[in-house]
Amino acid sequence: MSYAVEMTSITKEFPGVVANDNVTFQVRGGEIHALVGENGAGKTTLMNVLYGLYRPDSGQIKVRGQEVTIHDPHQAIELGVGMVHQHFMLVPSLTVMENVVLGKTPTRFALIDARQANEAIMEISEQYSLAVNPQAKVYELSVGEMQRVEILKALYRGADILILDEPTAVLTPQETTELFRILRGLAEQERAIIFITHKLKEVLAISDRVTVMRNGEVTGLVETRDTDEQELARLMVGRDVVFRVEKSPVKVGEEILRVANLHTVDDRGLPALKSVSFCVRLGQIVGVAGVEGNGQTELVEVLNGLRRATDGSVHYRGTDVTQASPRKRRELGISHIPEDRLRLGVNLDCTIEENLVLNTYYQPPLARSIFLNLNKIEEYSDSLVERFNIITPTSKLPASSLSGGNMQKLVLAREMGGDPDLLIAAQPTRGVDVGAIEYIHQQIIQLRDRGHGVLLVSAELDEIMSLSDRILVMYEGEIVGDFVGGSVSEEELGLYMLGTKRMEPSEIVAS
Ligand SMILES: Nc1ncnc2c1ncn2[C@@H]1O[C@H](COP(=O)(O)OP(=O)(O)OP(=O)(O)O)[C@@H](O)[C@H]1O
Ligand SMILES: [Mg+2]
């Protein structure tokens, strides 16, 4: 049988790491092939090799039966390989049209032929029901829309082998359903789809076959219909994973955070929070559920001093911190796991070690007056690397060398390692593998069991349901539901998330 893509005995080393160790990976035309594996397993590296971003140290690549050497993405594109990257690569200040045609621009008398470009885009967008507005600027788009632009860009370049690296990590459930519909349509046209994800439910829902990687090697190739979540998890992390979270009964203490009648606006100046009130107590995990884009991002930003409240107040242990700087809040004991790790979470040019002590390097025991204690810094950061299982040969490497999920673990290690009094965690397990999710969930519960407060904002309903002692639902900038954890079903929560049901303000306990 001939394959659309056939990668044989691919080996790729980075200093100190064999990212791909003699990997064989084959994809048929017309198939959706899931590529899964723990953080740092080598998935992105393998796909970067296919896309010409990295040259393998050894091994062979065949595209549609022809042996090829892929020197750069340009050549990959010519061979019909398209890639939607784990971290988007669009230019925010350009329009959708300009981004799509970038590098393959139709011209007339040396000017961009905007009409022709627009027509080509509209044709593809209609053919695949990829709804986009070619004139919109990319910075105005939601992540779901950006994703569609990335796919459109690949299709515009003629991709019939399409690689998607964790495309659903940032999508809402509706956007994911939409994406799956598009991918099925592409596969029906005999295109080959390579789909990287950590969400095993999605693997089972969308793929035909699954290749599993661990530690640079392929550990399994299975037909999707013959497998299940347990088996995939075992192949990925090499042991059984407990999907259920064990939690002891809650012992709530005094109030640590009180938010009263909070209002703010989004980047476009439109109301994003409308009179939000609630409290978090010590020894309690308060989960905020909601479809992304309903004010959760702005809420977390206001609570961390990254966005101004236009009205209302935030009190921390009885002190008004509504106007306090981000650093001041940190010093008071609030820590923050931001949802967008690349924008707010890590400095890619700094080393892993520097990133781990970013908030604390100037305080004892890491520093004494103006002197840094480099030994202590190293000791502390090495202990975090070990505890949070950040996969790297040494913490002296730049953070940019980490795999996507390990960057997320780096942020978690920094923010949770210091035993914060109040943890504000936005999408804490986004992009991390099933084994790491299990560990992170245990850490969050232990923090709460030691009597600290946690505000958990997550688009993963499973995560909210299994961790929260109390669940708030946000819809269009308001809290529309307030439940005791464990007392509400997923379906019921879904109705509140979609705005079909809502509670009266008097039913919302903390208002
Ligand atoms: N540019 C680089 N320089 C040095 N090491 C790198 C580089 N890119 C990747 N690595 C290392 O190669 C290994 C594989 O990384 P890769 O990004 O392929 O993992 P992944 O399977 O995509 O993981 P994730 O699920 O976290 O995205 C990791 O140990 C990573 O640290
Ligand atoms: Mg990756």
17 close to ligand 1 (CB < 6 Angstrom): yes
Q: Are 157 and 75 in contact (CB under 8 A)?
A: no
Ligand 1, atom 10: nearest CA belongs to which residue? 401
Cα-flanking dihedrals φ and ψ of residue 429, to 5°? -105, 15
Retrieve residue 467's tokens.
């961790």
Retrieve residue 100's tokens.
């799509």
Residue of 44, 85, 217 to test ligand 1 pocket, by largest number of atoms within 8 Å of CB: 44
* Strand, helix or coil for residue 101: helix
99 close to ligand 1 (CB < 6 Angstrom): no
What's the distance, Cα to Cα, between the start and end of the chain in Å?
64
Ligand 1, atom 18: nearest CA belongs to which residue? 42
For residue 55, what are the contacts with CB-CB under 8 A and spacing of at least 6?
49, 71
For 154-209, write each residue's pLDDT tens digit: 989 889 999 999 888 777 777 788 889 989 999 999 999 999 999 999 999 999 99
Give distance in angstroms: CA of 78 to centre of ligand 1.
Answer: 26
Give distance in angstroms: CA of 329 to centre of ligand 2.
Answer: 33
Nearest ligand by distance to the CA of 408: 1
Q: Considering the domain 5-237, what is its CATH architecture?
A: 3-Layer(aba) Sandwich (3.40)
The reply to whether 246-333+420-511 shares the fold of 5-237 is: yes
Going from the C-alpha of 46 to that of each of 8, 59, 186, 379, 389, the distances in angstroms are 11, 11, 22, 33, 22
Atom of ligand 1 nearest to the CA of 405: 26
Q: Are 426 and 344 in contact (CB under 8 A)?
A: no
Alpha carbons 50 and 81: distance in angstroms, whole number: 8
What is the side-by-side strand order in the sheet with 58-63?
A: 17-27, 5-14, 58-63, 66-68
Residue of 17, 55, 348, 432 to test ligand 1 pocket, by largest number of atoms within 8 Å of CB: 17
How confident is the model at residue 57, as a pLDDT? 97
Retrieve residue 374's tokens.
């480099």
Residue of 11, 25, 45, 84 to test ligand 1 pocket, by largest number of atoms within 8 Å of CB: 45
Locate all alpha helices (DSSP H) within 140-272, ordered by sequence: 143-156, 173-188, 200-206, 229-237
Give distance in angstroms: CA of 405 to centre of ligand 2.
Answer: 7
For 76-116, write each residue's pLDDT tens digit: 999 999 999 877 788 888 999 889 988 766 666 656 677 88
For residue 251, what are the contacts with CB-CB under 8 A and spacing of at least 6?
283, 451
Atom of ligand 1 nearest to the CA of 48: 18
284 close to ligand 1 (CB < 6 Angstrom): no
Atom of ligand 1 nearest to the CA of 407: 26
- Residue 221: which pLDDT band, with cuts at 50, 70 and 90? very high
pTM, entire model: 0.88
Give distance in angstroms: CA of 315 to centre of ligand 1.
Answer: 41
224 close to ligand 1 (CB < 6 Angstrom): no
How confident is the model at residue 511, as a pLDDT? 44
What is the 3-class SS of 103-144, one letter each residue?
CCCCEECCEECHHHHHHHHHHHHHHCCCCCCCCCEHHHCCHH
Task: Quickly count: other Cβ atoms within 10 Å of residue 114's Cβ.
Answer: 17
Alpha carbons 155 and 122: distance in angstroms, whole number: 12
Locate all alpha helices (DSSP H) within 157-285, ordered by sequence: 173-188, 200-206, 229-237
> Crossing angle for the helix pair 434-449 and 404-417, nearest 10 degrees?
10
For 341-383, write each residue's pLDDT tens digit: 777 788 999 999 999 988 777 777 777 777 777 788 888 999 9
Tell whether domain 246-333+420-511 is in CATH 3.40.50.300: yes
Average pLDDT over residues 16-29: 97
- Where exactly are the structural domains of the chain? 5-237, 246-333+420-511, 340-419
Report which of 406, 446, 439, 407 is spatially closest to residue 423, judged by C-alpha positions. 446
